[in-house]
Amino acid sequence: MNSAPVAGLIGLGAMGAGMAGSLRRAGYAPRVFDIRADVARAFAQGGGTACASPAELAAACDVVVSVVVNAAQTEAVLFGEHGCAAAMKPGSVFVMCSTVDPAWSVALEARLAALGILYLDAPISGGAARAASGEMTMMTAGRPEAYAVAEPLLNAMAAKVYKLGDRAGAGSKVKVINQLLAGVHIAAAAEAMALGLREGVDPAALYEVITHSAGNSWMFENRMAHVLAGDYTPLSAVDIFVKDLGLVLDMARASKFPLPLSSTAHQMFMQASSAGFAREDDSAVIKIFPGIELPAKN
């Protein structure tokens, strides 16, 4: 491989767009693909190349970074019509940034190895703002040969790149555990704010006190600000936590490990989804609580 690998990124959503921008700031001219062709073309106007398919992108790249929602979309990117697996060069690297079942990630590493493709299990965290500034976290695992090719790109996209093992799986396991905490914290934050509203406490005052007290969490501080603003524009949607907490429970179920808090939080997000809030911001889980009047949009 050349010392400066050719970079490609698939999925210019909230996280992927920022990651592609970080690659560009680091001096790469990334090839990009998104199912919204206009989004890819708009990105490329600032530098880089918009591709018409994953296969077109992959044929020219040493490293392909996939930033799609789930395992099903990753399957489509790799093995669907005009997928990139058949087009990737032997020795190139596929970097998988989605939150998925760790067992699926382990199996994917073997499937790609049979095609001569290296793989990094590399879920991400930090939100859109940190992705855009190159300050997000990557939880990675994979073979040393994969790191040897892809590590410069990882460092360009993230402030923290954790190496958690020399085989796929550990990165996804750590991300699933992170999502356990994130989902439970959002659900608990919503419950606390809902109780305050029910008891007639001024929500802005409650927010001010909690964010300067021991009960605070990053999720309370971030997500309850959305509630106070009455703005449920999805940065991370309710259905993301239906999926991710489902993965948490699936992983634990395989070893018969009890997760009572995760189970309750999952039911809360399921209730919010079935009530019509599936595509709203995940802070909309607060809308499942009866008898409260939520702040109106500013």
Q: Are residues 82 and 14 in the same domain?
A: yes
Q: Please report, for the domain that includes residue 31, its CATH number.
A: 3.40.50.720
Range of the domain at 275: 173-288
For 32-84, the pLDDT digits (tens) are 999 999 999 999 999 999 999 999 999 999 999 999 999 999 999 999 999 99
Q: Are residues 52 and 76 in the same domain?
A: yes
Terminal CA-to-CA distance of the chain, rounded, Å? 53
| 293 part of a folded domain | no
Cα angle 168, 68, 47; round to 5: 110
| 2 part of a folded domain | no
pLDDT at 2 over 80: no
Q: Please report, for the domain that includes residue 213, its CATH number.
A: 1.10.1040.10
| Helices and strands in the chain, H and E counts | 12, 9
Q: Are residues 74 and 189 in the same domain?
A: no
Q: Are residues 50 and 135 in the same domain?
A: yes
What does the pLDDT read at residue 1?
A: 45
For 120-146, the pLDDT digits (tens) are 999 999 988 899 999 999 999 999 999
Cα angle 42, 43, 47; round to 5: 120
pLDDT at 19 over 60: yes
What does the pLDDT read at residue 3?
A: 66
DSSP lists the bridge partners of residue 120 as: 95, 142
| 237 part of a folded domain | yes
For 104-123, the pLDDT digits (tens) are 999 999 999 999 999 999 99
Counted domains in the chain:
2
For 247-282, the pLDDT digits (tens) are 999 999 999 999 999 999 999 999 999 999 999 999
Catalytic center residues: 175
Q: Are residues 125 and 214 in the same domain?
A: no
Backbone angles phi, psi at 275, to 5 degrees: -85, 0
What does the pLDDT read at residue 127?
A: 87
The Cα 126–Cα 67 span in angstroms is 14
| 298 part of a folded domain | no
Residue 23, amino acid: L
Q: Are residues 153 and 188 in the same domain?
A: no
| 296 part of a folded domain | no
For 171, 249, 255, 270, 279, the CA distances from 258, given in Å and listed in that order, are 22, 9, 9, 19, 29
Domain closes at, from 136, 153, 168: 168
Measured N-to-C along each axis, helices 203-210 and 170-198 cross at an angle, to the nearest 10 degrees, of: 140
Q: Are residues 55 and 152 in the same domain?
A: yes
Average confidence (pLDDT) over 202-219: 98
